[in-house]
Each structure stands twice: as C-alpha cells, then as structure tokens.
C-alpha cells in the first residue's frame, strides 16, 4: 500500500516539475515550486527521513518561497521569449538521462538490509549513538558530533550566503539609504483586519514551536537549522503584517549581523574549546568530566550556534531584499 502512496506522490512530483518549467509566469512557477517541495518532503517522510522532511518543508515551501517572491516583486514576473537552442539542450539532457538511468543498473536492491549503505558505516552510528551520547535522535548525533565538521562547514556556507547578499545589496544604484521608501512599501498588511488579527495571534506560537524544535532536536526530528528557519519565519510574518520597518525596529540590522556572526563564532568556539581542553577540534567529550555529558553539552551548544546563524542570515537576506523595493 505504501508503495502505491510513494508512486502516486512521485508521479505528481514529475507532473508538477514539468508544469514549473513550462509556466510562463514566474509567480506561478514559484507557487508550483512550493507544491513540488511539499511533495518531496512527503516522499522523504515515507522514506523514514523525518529530519530531512522537516527541513525540506521549512526551506522549500517556506524560506525559498518567501525569497523568490521578494526577488520577483523587485524584478518582474513574466518570462519573455522561451528558450535558446531547445533541441540541442534536449539532446544533451536526454543523453545525460540515459547515463543516469544506465547507472542505476546493477545497483543494490532498494531497501536491501544487506546493501553497503546499511552494512558498512551506518550500523556503527546506530549502535554507538546510544553508547557515546545517550540521545535518541541518531541524525542529530551524526550531524552534531560524528560529522560535526560538515555541519560547521554548512553554517559557514549559510554565513557566506548572508555576507554575499548583504554585500551585493549594499551597493549599486538601488541602494540609497537617504531616500525613504514609498508609503506602500512599508505599510505591510496592517490595514487588513483578518490577516492581522490571525497573524498576530499565531506569532508567539510559532516562536514557541521554533524554540521547541531547537531544544527538542536531540529527541525528535529537528535541530538548529530548522528552528532558525522557523524563528526567522515568525519574524518575517511580523514584518509582513506590520511592515518591514517595524520588524527592523524589533531586530535592527546590527543585531542580525551580530546573530549571524555570533552563531558561527559560538560553533567555532566550542570546537576550539575541544582543543584547549586536550582533545581534537570539535571533540565534545572533553567538555565535561563525563564524556557522555560532554557530548550532549557540545551538541546543545553547537545547535544553538546553528540556530542563531540561520536566523540572522535569513532575516538579513529578507530585509536586504525588502529594502530594494521602490
């Protein structure tokens, strides 16, 4: 039965993807992207990837929709002229597709417990998470500690994206801090009663959910990145309701930059602390007398760092785009 569910979702996904590429109106394409992203997230859940499903929904349906819409409201939503060299492109694509499909011959059977993926490195994680960290969520254990260096890299990828957008959008002809934006740009949805009441009611709950996801990440699906995205989404909701300027009053730009840099520094500092206490970089077991406690403490701290950076970067990017509307 679940097989049928999977096939149904994937087929819908393919149909949506074709529609996205064919859509002339970019706004429509972005809406369909949201649907595609939810379909992918649902497929991930069917494949037992709860954390990834959560991230994909927060990123694909939430953050990326907001970003694309902000960009579209500055640029334009119509796509002119269709495509260049469609036939050559189609040929290249078909050739590549054949290679990909060829590559799936002779692969291990889907879901085979004997496949290398399940028999080589993974069982070690599944077995040792309990022993070394005593936390239920293995994804968090691998993400935070066993492969914590990758996650450090991930935080800096987010940071560099934030730096990049701030850098790009703090120059050029559209940047003019002296000029005040037109009145409609700063009003938000303030004059619409129902969205405002419903939205304001929900903001505290969204923040609460964000904090829950942040600190519950060791026990259930979630963690710093998802929490950061959700908290950022709550602030963005506030900005949509009350106008971007008012959101900036709550969390001014320097605070956001402090958040993004501070989170990255916190993560790095935990790693360096590992060196100072006599271990290797990102070795959390030396952080407390008991190595299990040390691991838990380390993961908690770095997840907090991830959450801070992600919140800071997403909000900075949102405000940078919003400031360009005029």
Is 120 or 179 the residue whose CB approaches another protein more closely?
120
Q: Is residue 277 within the footprint of another protein (CB under 8 A)?
A: no
CA angle 137, 55, 112 (to 5 degrees): 60
Is 249 or 282 the residue whose CB approaches another protein more closely?
282
CA angle 57, 60, 66 (to 5 degrees): 115
Q: Is residue 260 within the footprint of another protein (CB under 8 A)?
A: yes
Tokens 């999977």 — which residue?
A: 6
| Per-residue binding letters, 92-131, with another protein (x by CB under 8 A) | xxx-xx-xxxxxxxxxxxxxxx-xxxxxxxx-xxx-xxx-
CA angle 104, 40, 53 (to 5 degrees): 110
Tell the smallest beta-carbon distance from residue 307 to another protein (Å): 13
Q: Is residue 63 within the footprint of another protein (CB under 8 A)?
A: yes
198-257 residues in contact with another protein (CB under 8 A) are: 199, 202, 205-206, 209, 212-213, 216, 219-222, 225-226, 230, 233-234, 236-237, 240-241, 257
d(CA 223, CA 155) in angstroms, rounded, equals 13
Q: Let me know: does 223 contact 58? Beta carbons within 8 Å.
A: no
Please select the residue that binds another protein; options are 255, 265, 277, 288, rule is CB under 8 A. Answer: 265
Q: What is the end-to-end Cα distance of the chain in Å, rounded?
A: 52
Q: Is residue 3 within the footprint of another protein (CB under 8 A)?
A: yes
Q: Say how many CA atoms lie within 13 Å of 40 toward its Cβ.
A: 19
Q: Is residue 292 within the footprint of another protein (CB under 8 A)?
A: no
Q: Is residue 57 within the footprint of another protein (CB under 8 A)?
A: yes
Q: Is residue 75 within the footprint of another protein (CB under 8 A)?
A: yes
Q: Is residue 179 within the footprint of another protein (CB under 8 A)?
A: no
Q: Is residue 197 within the footprint of another protein (CB under 8 A)?
A: no
Q: Let me know: does 322 contact 239? Beta carbons within 8 Å.
A: yes
d(CA 79, CA 64) in angstroms, rounded, equals 19
Please select the residue that binds another protein; options are 131, 179, 249, 280, rule is CB under 8 A. Answer: 280
Is 145 or 296 the residue whose CB approaches another protein more closely?
145
d(CA 134, CA 284) in angstroms, rounded, equals 14
**Residue 75 DSSP symbol:** S
Q: Is residue 1 within the footprint of another protein (CB under 8 A)?
A: yes
Q: Is residue 151 within the footprint of another protein (CB under 8 A)?
A: yes
30-49 residues in contact with another protein (CB under 8 A) are: 30-49
d(CA 284, CA 292) in angstroms, rounded, equals 9
């Amino acid at each position: 039965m679940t097989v049928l569910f999977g096939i149904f979702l994937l087929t819908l996904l393919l149909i949506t993807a074709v529609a996205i590429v064919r859509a002339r109106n970019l706004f429509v394409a972005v809406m369909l992207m949201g649907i595609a992203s939810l379909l992918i997230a649902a497929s991930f859940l069917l494949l037992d990837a709860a954390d990834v499903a959560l991230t994909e929904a927060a990123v694909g349906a939430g953050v990326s929709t907001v970003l694309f819409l902000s960009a579209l409201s500055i640029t334009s939503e119509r796509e002119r002229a269709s495509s260049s060299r469609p036939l050559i492109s189609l040929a290249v694509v078909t050739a590549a597709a054949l290679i990909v499909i060829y590559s799936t011959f002779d692969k291990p059977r889907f879901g085979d417990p004997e496949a290398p993926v399940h028999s080589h490195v993974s069982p070690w994680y599944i077995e040792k998470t309990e022993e070394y960290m005593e936390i239920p969520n293995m994804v968090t254990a691998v993400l935070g500690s066993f492969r914590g260096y990758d996650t450090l890299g991930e935080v800096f990828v987010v940071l560099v994206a934030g730096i990049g957008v701030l850098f790009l959008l703090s120059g050029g002809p559209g940047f003019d801090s002296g000029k005040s934006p037109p009145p409609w740009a700063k009003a938000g949805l303030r004059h619409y009663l129902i969205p405002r009441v419903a939205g304001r009611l929900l903001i505290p709950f969204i923040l609460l959910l964000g904090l829950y996801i942040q600190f519950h990440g060791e026990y259930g699906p979630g963690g710093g990145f998802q929490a950061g995205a959700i908290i950022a989404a709550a602030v963005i909701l506030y900005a949509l309701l009350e106008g971007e300027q008012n959101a900036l009053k709550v969390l001014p730009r320097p605070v956001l930059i402090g958040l993004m840099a501070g989170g990255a520094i916190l993560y790095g500092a935990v790693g360096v602390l590992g060196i100072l206490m006599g271990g290797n970089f990102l070795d959390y077991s030396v952080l407390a007398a008991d190595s299990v406690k040390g691991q838990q403490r380390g993961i908690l701290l770095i997840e907090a760092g991830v959450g801070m950076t992600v919140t800071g970067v997403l909000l900075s990017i949102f405000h940078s785009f919003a400031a360009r509307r005029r």
